[in-house]
Amino acid sequence: MSLAGIQDRLRRWSPRFSPAWFKAILVAVVAAAFAVPLGVLALPYLELLNDMAVQPKGKAQGHYGWFQGEARIVERPPAAGSMPMGYYPYHLEGKDEATAKQAEASLANELPATLAAVEEGEKLFNYYCWTCHGREGYGNGPIVGPERFPAPPALHTDTARAFKDGRIFHIISRGQNKMPSYADKFTPHERWAIVHYVRALQRSQNPKPEDGEK
């Protein structure tokens, strides 16, 4: 074929449009536009190329992967003396009478008896405690009674009024009889505020002669 004939065929040639091929090429180009840059970024972090610069890690008391169906546990105990955030240690354990007396003798209310402290204690009492103890502390809350939870002793008995602040704080912290511990609900500051409010409740139901003079 002569050169003129080849040039003539090239002038008359027109490629056929194929929608399927067009879509396939478009998808391949878009995928490459994402895959190639991501591959270049990830290349330095491949374990075979970075000489262990990036390794799996585990947090204390957790696990960092699995091996033959079992978790790989991080066997690293916490540092000596460390405590979780928001945790307030309380040194007296147990709900027995001897421990309660020890708390009564060794603990004193560290929160000043101000109106703000009483109001804070009232708010907490009316949120957590009144359902069993009742609004006025007579042990007649809405969830106690026959075929329900056993009623706690009233806060206005001679025995309860004779309790020192440290004993009430201990009861809130460790519980008593059917009452559970509320140490996970209240900080020490909040427990002392509740003690102030319990005292205010007791005073309201058993006023002293000098209260009428104020």
Mean pLDDT by 10 residues, the chain (214 residues): 76 72 86 83 61 65 72 72 80 90 92 94 95 93 88 93 95 92 92 96 85 58
Which residues share a beta bridge with 75? none
Average pLDDT, the chain: 84
pLDDT of residue 89: 82
Alpha carbon distance 188, 113 (integer Å): 15
Indicate the burial class of 201 (C-beta count within 10 angstroms; 0-12, 13-18, 19 or more): buried
pLDDT of residue 10: 72
Mind listing the pLDDT tens digit for each residue in 127-181?
A: 999 999 999 999 999 999 888 888 999 999 999 999 999 999 999 999 998 899 9
> For the whole model, what pTM was predicted?
0.62
